A and B are shown apart, each in its own frame.
Chain A
C-alpha cells in the first residue's frame, strides 16, 4: 500500500511538474509558432494551431536588419558586464563572507535595495553621465550600466555560496603560508566554482534580456538584440509574425546556452542546499 501511495504521489508530482513547465513554456512555444505564420494568420481569431508554415517573416527580418550586428553587440555587452561584475563581486563577497564587520549585513541589504528602485527614476542622471563621458551608444557604456545593475544580485549570490565553504579549509591554506590573494584564488575559487558559474550564467541571462537601458542608451552602433526586437513593432500595419520571428531569433542563443548549461546552473543554485 505504502509503495502504491508512493508511486501515485510520484506520478502526481511528475504530472504537476510537467504541467507547470508546459504552462511556463507556452508563451515561448506560441511565439515560435507565430514566427512561422503569415501576418494575417498571426492575428486570426480564433488563433490557429495548424497552418501552412512559411519562412516569409524570417526572410523579411533578415532582409530588413542586420541580425548579426545586434547579436554581436549583445554578446559583447553580456560577457563584458558579467566579467566586470565578477571581478568586482568576488573580492567583495569574499571579504563579506570571511571577514564580516558590524555593517556587513546592513551593506548587503542596502545593495539589494538599489534593485528596488525603478530604473526610469535614474534615467536622466545616467543619460547625462553617459553623454558627458561620451559613452552613449557604445557597448562599453551599456556594459558598465548592466554590470552595475546586476552587481547587487551577483554579490549576494556569491556571498551565499562562499558562506558554504568551510572556513577551516581557508585557515589550513593560510597556515601553509598562502597569502590572501592565493587563499582566494587557489583555495576558495576552485571550491566555489559551481556557484560562480551559476552566478555568471544568471548574470549573462539578465544582461541578454535587459531592455530598458538598451533602448535608452543605444541607438545604432551598440544596439543589442532587445533593440532589434523593438524595431519590429509597428503603429500602423500587421507585425506580429515578424515580431515573433525577431524575438525567436533573439532568444534562441540564450535558450540553447541555458539548455546546455542547465546541469551546471541547477548544481550551482542548489550548492550547499542539502548540507
Chain B
C-alpha cells in the first residue's frame, strides 16, 4: 500500500511540475539553423540584450529541413511560436505572397542601400522588402593549386565545363584516394538539385516553358546531366550519392578532392587551417560555364524575417535590424576577427581593408554575388524565378523527387535518358495535381 501511495504522490508531484509557463512578455523566440555565422550571432546577442534590457532572446536551433517544417506549420496555423525566423530567398517571395511575412522598413541609419543589390532584390516581393540578409552566397570553383602544378595545369580565369573535365581526368589518382572532381550527389532540392539546376542553366536547359510544360527531356538537359554523370563516375569519389555540401567539404578539406564546385561560403572554411588540411593549397575560380554560357546564376541569402503571427513584431524588427546592421559586422570583427564577419551582404564589409586582408577570397566572392542574377535569362522565356531552384511552392517536393532520379543515374540504377523521362513524367503529374499546369 505504501508503494501505491508513493506512486500517487509522485504522479501528483509531476502533474504539478510539468506545467510550464507560457512565453514571458518581452521574450523573442528566434528560430535558426546551426551554421557558423548563426552561432556567432547567438554568442554576441548578449550585447543586444544589454542595449535593450526589456527584450530577452530565446533561441531555437533546428536542423534545416526541420526548421522549414516547423516554421511553415507555425505560420500557416498562426500559432505565433516564433518571432524571428531564419529563411532563404526561396521562401521569402513565396511566403510574402501568402501574406505570412511582415513588410520591413528599416530606418536611414540601417543604410539599406549598402546591402548588395542582387541580395536586396532576392528578398523583395512586389517592391516591398520582407527579410533582411544575414549572409549570402553564390557559387565558385575551388581547386588544389599543388595538384594542378604537379600535373602542369593552369586554371583559366573563366573556366568552361569541358576544361574542368579535362583537368579532373588529369589529376585523378584513385589509388592515392585523390578524386579529380567532387560535386553534390545527395538527393534533395537543396542538395544535388541546387548544383544540377545551376549546371543545367549554363547548358541552356530550363525546368519549364511559359505554359509550365516541363522541359527535362530537352537536349540541353541531356548534355548537362551526361557531363555530370560521366565526370562523377570517372573522376568522382566513391559513394557520391551520399555526398552533400558537408561531405564534400570534409573530402576537400582532408585532401581527397582536386576540384570542387560549390557555394562561396566554403571559402572561409577551406582557408581556415583549423578546419582544413589544405588551407595553404586552395585556389579559386568562377563557376565554370557551359555551352549556353549565360542563364540565371546561383544566389542564396540566409535571411531574418518576422512572421505576421508574431505577437512582438516591433521588438522582432528591432532585433533583426541589429543583427544585419553595419554595427553588428563591426562587433563581430572586434570580437571574433574580420574573417568571421557574415559574408555576401553589405558593400561596406568588402570596402573594409581589414576584411580584404583577412579573407583573400573576399573580392572574388563580392564579384560572384554582385553578378549573381537568379532572374537571369534562360534560352527560352520562363514563368518562374530562381537559379538553383524554381521559385514555386511545389519545388521542394518536386526537386527532391527529381534529385532522387538524378542520384539513381550516379549509382547506375538508371541511364540519363531514363532518369530524365521519369523526372519529366513525375513533374508533369505533380504540376497537374497542383493545378498549375493543365
Contact = CB atoms under 8 A, between A and B. Distances in A.
Given A79-B14, A220-B58, A131 B77 contact: yes
Contact of A216 (B19, B73, B250, B253): B73
Contact of B34 (A123, A136, A190, A234): A234
B18 A236 contact: no
B315 to A, nearest CB: 16
A234 B246 contact: yes
B39 A238 contact: no
A40 B251 CA distance: 10
Nearest to A185: B4
A244 B63 CA distance: 15
A83 interface: yes
Interface stretch (B20-28, B99-107, B122-130, B430-438): B20-28
B277 interface: yes
A264 interface: no
B150 interface: no
B33 interface: yes
A216 B68 CA distance: 11
Nearest to B266: A236
B70 to A, nearest CB: 7
B364 to A, nearest CB: 18
Contacts of B148: none
Contact of A238 (B14, B33, B77, B250): B250
B75 to A, nearest CB: 13
**Best-buried of A134, A190, A219, A223 by chain B (most CB within 10 Å):** A219
A132 B263 CA distance: 42
Interface in A35-81: 39-40, 43-45, 64-65, 76-77, 79-80
A236 B246 contact: yes
Contacts of A65: 61
Contact of A136 (B17, B79, B249): B79
Interface in B214-255: 245-247, 249-251, 253-254
**Best-buried of B42, B61, B190 by chain A (most CB within 10 Å):** B61
Interface string B79-101: 10110000000000000000000
A123 B4 CA distance: 35
B15 interface: yes
Given A45-B177, A238-B249, A86 B277 contact: no
A84 B18 CA distance: 12
Contacts of B269: 237-238
Interface string B1-25: 1011001001100110111111100
Interface in B39-83: 39, 42, 58-64, 66, 69-70, 73, 77, 79, 81-82
Nearest to A134: B22
Could you tell me the dominant secondary structure of chain B's interface residues? Answer: mixed
Contacts of A127: 73, 77
Interface stretch (A15-23, A105-113, A157-165, A225-233): A225-233
Given A233-B34, A237-B36, A237-B246, A44 B254 contact: yes
B11 A84 contact: yes
Interface residues of B, number: 56
Given A86-B7, A235-B33, A238-B250, A80 B245 contact: no
A43 B244 CA distance: 13
B238 to A, nearest CB: 10
B64 to A, nearest CB: 4
Given A45-B251, A45-B254, A236-B36, A76 B62 contact: no
Contacts of A44: 250, 254
A54 to B, nearest CB: 12
A70 B168 CA distance: 47
Interface in A259-275: none
A220 B18 contact: no
B155 interface: no
A127 B73 CA distance: 9
B234 to A, nearest CB: 20
B3 A189 contact: yes
Nearest to B63: A233
B29 A220 contact: yes
**Best-buried of B4, B245, B247 by chain A (most CB within 10 Å):** B4
B305 interface: no
B348 interface: no
A230 to B, nearest CB: 5
A128 interface: yes
A128 B4 contact: no
A138 interface: yes
A14 to B, nearest CB: 36
A223 B69 CA distance: 16
Contacts of A76: 14, 17-18
Contacts of B256: 45
A80 B18 contact: yes
A77 to B, nearest CB: 7
B237 to A, nearest CB: 9
Contact of B20 (A84, A139, A234, A238): A139
A65 B42 CA distance: 10
Contacts of A219: 29, 31, 60, 70, 81-82
B250 A138 contact: no
B265 A236 contact: yes
A221 interface: yes
A140 B19 contact: yes
Contacts of A39: 275
30 contacts: A40-B250, A40-B253, A40-B254, A40-B276, A43-B250, A43-B254, A44-B250, A44-B254, A80-B18, A87-B7, A137-B23, A137-B81, A138-B18, A138-B20, A140-B15, A189-B4, A219-B60, A219-B82, A220-B60, A221-B20, A232-B34, A233-B63, A234-B246, A235-B64, A235-B190, A235-B245, A236-B263, A238-B246, A238-B250, A238-B275
Give me the 4 closest cross-chain CB pairs, A-B, nearest first. Answer: A43-B250, A231-B61, A234-B34, A139-B18
